[in-house]
Amino acid sequence: MRRIGIWIAAGGLLLATAACGGTSSGGGSSSTPKNQSLSVGFVAEPANLDFTSTEGAAIPQALLVNVYEGLVKLDQDGKIVPLLAEKWEVSPDRKTYTFALRKDVKFSSGAPFTADDVAFSLDRVKTDWKLKIKSQLDVVDKVEKKDDSTAVVQLKKPSNGFLYSMATRLGAMFSRTGVSDLANKPVGTGPYTLGSWRRGDSIQLNANPSYWGTKPSLTSITLKYFKDATAMNNALLTGGIDVISAVQAPESLQQFADPNRFQTVEGTTNGEVVLSMNNSRPPFNDKKARQAVRYAIDHKALLDTAWAGRGQLIGSMVPPTDPWYEDRTGDYPYDPAKAKQLLGGKTLSVKMRIPNLPYAVASAQVVKSQLAQVGINAEIEPLEFPARWLDVVFKQGDYDLSIINHVEPRDMGIFADKSYYFRYDNPEFGKLLASADEGTEQQQTDDLKKAAKLLSDDAAADWLFLFPNLIVAKKGVTGLPKNAIAESFDFTALAKQQ
């Protein structure tokens, strides 16, 4: 998770960005229709609503873009586009970003949004945020208010990653008077506000009547949380919900084949389903043992068995939507004999502590079977997600193997932090990332390709597959996001035909 990405929604899951029609650059438009509501099913509920101090993707999945907005956001193609900033300029030395802010924007509390809030929000990342990913903004030297509608961000050095990070939760804008209870009372500038939260059941978001942009087509959206895929499928079949945000049992899609009742949206994500290995303790502090795991996995068979063949094999921490993607599936072809050779005839016993999420449970069964064939006996221990998994695996690093969907965009840099739960430690990797961030676009691409290859060569982890974006909805629901390549499930374009 870096976030872990975890989709939490898929455990990660955390899903994505939606069609960008919901937040226009203009002022408010037509009023929201009365009694237009929609219910969307998810599988993992947030522990609280504060994504500045709580890992996991469930919180930004629900709130980012919908309740909280940044100066910029990612569109459906992964392009950075304006949001609270109308435009921005970059100095010739690439160290100064001048953002022209939209005027007449207010937080849901009624407080005006100004450059003071930009400075407050970015300064707060350094002083108050608890997440490891906050280091992405260490490159920021200072943030200054030129006037109410102009904010100037000075960087310590040129950074290719700065603006992209600003499109993630790190760039969310907070009110100077709205951070006293982030875990329960989010205050943002977005098209929705928090209506209610029934813990263990649902979160309701209500249309923000004073929203600066295009008003939502819906009066309210309910995020309904389910413990298992079958219950969520049944809810859609019986009319309890309108949308399944991420299909948790692809083999069940046939239930929704009737085009007169349902529609299926299939696209891509940047969620890498990672077979994590603890690089800091036996047996996986030994590179040969990690390499043996990679050779022991038949990835195509795993994808076919665990996720009905939906998804893509990538072999690295880089999805195809990133410019530096290379197909690395050939680095470790399925070769049980090679795996046994690397293990030297030894038998290993390991603990595979996984989140109790459908994709992880299904994948773990296949991994266990395939590892057993080369002499690695893995005991599967499902942990309640998010709380138990985050505590035991992510925070304490008490595991040998795990499986999690890392959904944050461009998150390969998490491997540069040796305290991150992978416990991977190779200074050369960090040097490549630093060089990539500061160099030209071509240097960035070249260095990040090298970094991805180094991770693969070191078998820092194994990448099982790229998670697909599979959404099923009632016929008549429009504005569903085809691709999930950002942290949020963007509700802003959702509508319901009469």
| pLDDT tens figures, 360-413 | 999 999 999 999 999 999 999 999 998 999 999 999 999 999 999 999 899 999
Is the pLDDT at 31 greater than 70, yes or no? no
Give the Cβ contact number of residue 366 at 10 Å. 20
Query: Phi then psi for 36, rounded to 5 degrees?
Result: -100, 105
CB atoms inside a 10 Å sphere around CB 310: 18
The whole-number average pLDDT for the span 70-82 is: 93
Q: Tell me whether the omega of the peptide bond preceding residue 186 falls within 30 degrees of 0, making it cis.
A: no
Average pLDDT value over all residues in the chain = 92
CA distance 446 to 354: 34
The model's confidence at residue 469, banded by pLDDT at 50, 70 and 90, is very high
425-462 confidence digits (pLDDT tens): 999 999 999 999 999 999 999 999 999 999 999 999 99
Residues in CB range of 9: below 8 A, 6 or more apart: 15, 42, 43, 44, 57, 58, 61, 245, 246, 489
Residue 77's pLDDT is what? Answer: 85
Residue 343, pLDDT score: 98
The pLDDT tens digits for 262-314 are 999 999 999 999 999 999 999 999 999 999 999 999 999 999 999 999 999 99
Confidence of residue 100 (pLDDT cuts 50, 70, 90): very high
Mode of pairing for the β-strands spanning 192-198 and 202-207:
antiparallel
pLDDT at 8 over 60: no
pLDDT greater than 80 at residue 23? no
**What's the pLDDT tens digit per position in 232-250?**
999 999 999 999 999 999 9
Average pLDDT over residues 108-136: 97
Compute CA 284 distance to the chain's CA centroid, rounded to the nearest angstrom: 26
What percentage of residues in the chain have a pLDDT greater than 90? 88
What per-residue confidence (pLDDT) applies to 17?
Answer: 27
> Residue range 47-64: average pLDDT?
95
How far is residue 453's CA from residue 235's CA, in Å, rounded to a whole number?
43
